[in-house]
Amino acid sequence: MLGLYPLLQPRGLGWIAMGVALLVVVAGSFWDAWRARRGVDAKAATWANAALDPVTRGEAIVEMRRMLGEMSAKGAISKAQASEHTRLAVLLSDWLAIDGKGEQAAVLLDSLDVSAMPADDAAAVTHGRALLLLRSGDAAKAREVLDDRPARIEDEGLAMRLDLLEAAAQVELGEGDAALATANDIARRARGDAGLLLEARVLRASVLDAQGSKAEAAEILRELGADVRRMIAVVGLPRVRTLVSGVAS
């Protein structure tokens, strides 16, 4: 899904990336709202450019590792820092996946014990795990992971992004009609959330592509503009990355 990194700021779309999250991108734009609430170091805003620049991405990964290390340096992570640690670890896992280090990302996510987490933090980890599986092409396992997501999630945006990930899995499992219904439902419920609206459009393009309407799918991506397509080409899920590669700039 989309959501973590504001490369789309020039288009007025704010922090749209990971997530994808985030559907096209990484871990879901739930990160931005969470980051603002938690007051994470403003330096994190510089990570916005990391998705398209391997050097900056490497620097961001080092910085996130440093921050996680500082949180755990004194032993048990405090209750006050637990949520911040979880969300930062999920973000780092997706940067690692984008950087071609999927195994490291999986190890990091597996190290997070969701049993004692608040529901929304556990849902963020579920998002990260499902996204990683979708990136690797394992839609069936991704759906299994999503089936175990918390039943009650307070963050409505995060809940909808999990629905989008499930729909992305459905596309690959031949359940395009169900995925399209989700795209329509999210577009209706998004309440002006630019990231969710964009993810719903990309999901619709994925469904059309899977159902053989490749020209119509390509037209949806063409309408998003070159900047968005460049982002998708780097951090998108496999189907949409392939699709966007055939859309002329």
Q: What is the pLDDT of residues 181-233, one digit of tens each?
A: 999 999 999 888 888 889 999 999 999 999 999 999 999 999 999 888 988 88
What is the model's pTM?
0.82
Query: What's the pLDDT band for 53 if we cut at 50, 70, 90?
Result: confident
DSSP state of 151: S
Angle, helices 79-98/102-110, rounded to nearest 10 degrees: 160
Rg (CA), the chain: 17
Query: What's the pLDDT band for 51 if we cut at 50, 70, 90?
Result: low
The answer on pLDDT for 10 being more than 70 is: no
**Residue 220: what pLDDT?**
95
Are 137 and 204 spatial neighbours (Cβ–Cβ below 8 Å)? no
Please indicate whether residue 2 or residue 199 has the higher confidence score (pLDDT).
Answer: 199
Q: Which fold has domain 9-245?
A: 1.25.40
**Residue 192: what pLDDT?**
81
Mean pLDDT of 166-195: 94
Other Cβ atoms within 10 Å of 66 Cβ, number: 10
**Residue 48: what pLDDT?**
55
Structure tokens at 235: 């951090």
Handedness of CA 206, 197, 244, 214 (dihedral sign): positive
**Residue 46: what pLDDT?**
54
- What's the pLDDT tens digit per position in 70-113? 888 766 677 778 888 888 898 889 889 989 999 999 999 999 99
The answer on pLDDT for 116 being more than 50 is: yes
Partners of 20 in beta bridges: 26, 27
- Furthest-apart CA atoms within the chain: distance in Å: 56
- What's the pLDDT tens digit per position in 12-50? 222 223 333 333 333 334 344 444 444 444 445 555 556
Outline where DSSP puts E strands in 24-99: none
